[in-house]
Structure 1
Amino acid sequence: MKRKPMSGESPMTRTPLSILDLSPVPAGGTARDAVRNSVELAQKAEAAGFHRYWLAEHHIATGVASSATAVLIGQVAAATSRIRVGAGAIQLGHHTALSVAEEFGTLAAFYPGRIDLGLGRSGHRKPPPPGVKIPEPPKQEPKVIDGLLVPGPFPIGRAARSGKLALENSLLHLPGSTPVDYADSVHDILAFLAGTYKSGDCVQAHAVPGEGADVQPWILGSSGGESAILAGKLGLPFAAAYHVAPAGVLAAIDAYRSAFRPSQWLSEPYVVVSADVVVAETDAKAAELAAPYGLWVLAIRSGKGARSYPSAAEAAAYNWTDEDRELVTDRVDTQLVGSPATVAAKLAVVRAATGADELLITTITYDHADRVRSHQLIAEEWLG
């Protein structure tokens, strides 16, 4: 059974390569520069042959500037002409189904055939009540499966205790409101796009713009849980987040493929796998550029949220504890770092071990020029 081509899909002979961008803000930089850098990188990515350019939704973090995701998608789409542009992913816990359909319907009205709508569960997770401790996932030794490093899950207690999640929820949700069930939100968005939405008492509602829009829905996930299974049942393409939660990538893909049912979107599963990547002319130079990454991840994993990306000097001066290292080891060890040939070989392992139909890379460096060069180098090596 052949997979139905998705809207705007290019007939690349090699596995397509795409980009996930967080609009990173380096230490000493500004959000204004970060979003403009994203537009510039997208333009260069299109010229280099990347397939799609996604922007992530994050909030109240000083180190990423992609919070107004739909607005930034519009700016990137306006500055490019062919590359697909979209969200990776909209955090449905912070939005209503109608607002998402309207926003992305508006984008599709301007850029038909180019807009991807990635949907994620973030924002539905509630912080624990005071005094309630979230159990840590059971410890697992790292494994190498078909050449792919699959580390154990990272400890989550430190982030849960920080209070950052509770603050984010209070700032993004109206007082007294609670997020709609994730699966219900996805179903409602699809119904709005199809023009079939009806309330429980059979009253119709329409998303304008949105209804009939040429938008490609996706679901993103990091484990074998609800997101992966829902993507499969709905016959939607699925993006597995190796870069965020490498411990769960294979379980997520397996759950998606096991649950898959053919749909108007796909006749067989379509999987994108993400990876953190830093490329430079030599392995040594790439390792130097990637050195601050662990300190940046530490801020996220400790519950402070993404900080401004540190310089090499700041990272070198940090006094690491064993607890700190435990929080970031899985992310640091699965970052793909090196020369173009080195990273291409590592990406080939990711593709083979996961059966990915497409690879999605995310790259953060202190200097924007190094980030642009990293993408150009891997495109030359991978896409030819």
Structure 2
Amino acid sequence: MSNTDKKLSDIPVSVLDLVPVLAGKTPADAFKTSLDLAQHVERWGYQRFWMAEHHNMPGIASSATAILIGHIAGGTSTIRVGSGGIMLPNHAPLVVAEQFGTLESLYPGRIDLGLGRAPGTDQLTAMALRRDLRGSVEDFPQNVQEIMGYFAPATPGARVRAVPGEGLNIPVWLLGSSTYGAQLAGMLGLPYAFASHFAPAMLHAALKVYRESFTPSGTLQEPYAIACVNVVAADTDTEANHLATSLYQSFLNVIRGTARQMQPPVESMDDFWDGSEKYAVHQMLQYSFIGAPETVKTGLQSFLDDTQVDEIMVTSHIFDHNARLHSYEILADFFKRVESESIKQSA
């Protein structure tokens, strides 16, 4: 089979959950629905369930990402759980290594560590997180390698060790929305995930740089790339387009710099945005697949034909939890499924 023959059914599908806080609800509610989502997608054969570190955002409850990974992993049994990602400038590499060493020790063979170099917040909040901003993006490659060093087998005489963490096989992923992380992931021989769900412009350039710069490593012999996209699937195009107005409102708030909880869908966005705002939102959401099952399947297959990624990760800004579950259930039928223990036991 040539690369151009790759079908959705040949690759796995995964979830990026932003742990959304709905209007009128609390973070505690968000934690409950995220666990319920993880339990459902595990049964439907999804590969992994990632959460992203954000701070000072009323609509996103995933700030303490490592704690939430433990919560989700503890409530599931087979799906891989990880970070998409941990924003490394906010943390000492040793702390990250210890946290993920702890998670891997509790849930062996199921933890992914995705690392990003952005702060995941505004500059004032970044200052509150770090106490100062002396660190720069130039520190990112060294910090990544420092974490990987902590996961290496024990070195006699080492003065600083990650306990737990040392000697554990924890996959390290680099995340990005530009060519910077792509090149670094390639040079280090690490898997790479691109944030095309909100930063589509550099997707193709980043994938090209990653593949061309890839050097086989003890971790990975061939490049492995994930692209994240937005999906709102429903029984009809009309219903999906209605549900998607929650997604549009969320990104409109990003553009305006206003922080709100996730809003319910509306009949029309015309009363909410002007022409320039509508254009800006749609530019950010270029890789969004909204519609009935066949509409979404056709769009995702075209995306796969165009990018030849190894895995597609999906995030769904859908206000109603049952509608969000239904969207992920529709998607599961398109992709290669990962068998859960319960499926294997019943076979």
Letter in 2 for 1:213: L
Deviating more after overlay: 107-116 vs 371-380: 371-380
Deviation at 1:263, TM superposition (A): 0.3
Partner of 1:368: 321
How far 1:168 moved relative to its partner? 1.5
Cα deviation for residue 222 of structure 1 reads: 1.1
Task: For residue 56 of structure 2, give the secondary structure of its aligned residue in structure 1.
Answer: coil
TM-score using structure 1 length: 0.81
Partners of 2:14 and 2:329 in 1: CA distance = 12
* Aligned partners of 1:57 and 1:89 also within 8 Å: yes
Residue 324 of structure 1 and its aligned partner are, at CA, apart by 2.0
Match of 2:45, as an amino acid? G
Deviation at 1:309, TM superposition (A): 1.2
Matched, 1:279 2:265: no
Q: Are the aligned partners of 1:98 and 1:207 in contact in 2 as well (CA < 8 Å)? A: yes
Which residue of 206, 211, 218 corresponds with 2:161?
206
For residue 326 of structure 1, report the CA deviation from its aligned partner: 3.7
Paired residues of 1:93 and 1:182 also in contact (CA < 8 A): yes
Aligned position for 1:171? 128
Q: Paired residue for 1:232, among 186, 211, 234? A: 186
Aligned positions of 1:152-171 closer than 5 A: 165-171=122-128
- Structure 2 gap ranges (5+): 1-7, 338-347
Q: How does 1:103-252 map to 2 (within 5 A)?
A: 103-123=99-119, 165-175=122-132, 178=135, 181-195=139-153, 204-224=159-179, 226-252=180-206
CA distance in 1, matches of 2:237, 2:32: 29
Instruction: Give the SS at the match of 2:10.
Output: coil
Shift of the alpha carbon at 1:322?
3.3
Distance 1:308 1:188, change over 3 A: same
Offset, 1:281: 0.9
Matched, 1:255 2:217: no
TM superposition shift of 1:45:
0.5
Counterpart in the other structure of 2:264: 311
List gaps (5 residues or longer) in structure 1.
1-11, 125-163
Q: What is the distance in 2 between the residues matched to 1:27 and 1:168? A: 23
CA distance in 2, matches of 1:331, 1:197: 46
CA drift of 1:328 comes to: 1.1
Residues 116 and 217 in structure 1, CA contact (< 8 A), matched pair in contact too: yes
Aligned to 2:10: 14
Equivalent-residue separation in structure 2 for 1:41 and 1:241 (angstroms) = 21
Question: In the alignment, is the contact (CA less than 8 A) between 1:18 and 1:52 conserved in 2?
Answer: yes
> Given residue 182 of structure 1, which amino acid in structure 2 is its aligned partner?
F
Q: CA shift at 1:17, angstroms?
A: 0.5
Shift of 1:204: 3.3
Distance 1:249 1:176 in 2: 29
Question: Residue 25 of structure 1 aligns with which residue?
Answer: 21
**What residue in structure 1 maps to residue 84 of structure 2?**
88
Aligned equivalent of 1:266, options 211, 220, 223: 220
Cα distance, 1:315–1:207 mapped onto 2, change above 3 Å: farther
Q: Decide whether the 8 Å contact of 2:200 with 2:286 is kept in 1.
A: no
- Give 1:331's match in structure 2, choosing from 284, 302, 305: 284
Q: Offset of 1:179 from its aligned partner?
A: 5.2
Q: Please, what is the CA RMSD of the aligned residues?
A: 2.2
SS in 2 for 1:102: helix
Q: How does 1:18-57 map to 2 (within 5 A)?
A: 18-57=14-53
Alpha-carbon separation, structure 2, partners of 1:75 and 1:241: 24
Residues of 1 paired with 2:23 and 2:92: CA distance? 34
Distance 1:30 1:206 in 2: 38
1:352 matched to 2:305: yes
- What letter corresponds to residue 350 of structure 1 in structure 2? F
Aligned length: 329
Query: Counterparts of 1:363 and 1:73 in 2: how far apart (Å)?
Result: 19
- Counterparts of 2:255 and 2:146, CA distance in 1: 32
Say which structure is richer in helix. 2
The alignment's TM-score, normalised by the length of structure 2, stands at 0.89
Equivalent pair of 1:188/1:197 in contact (CA under 8 Å): no
Secondary structure of the equivalent of 2:54? coil
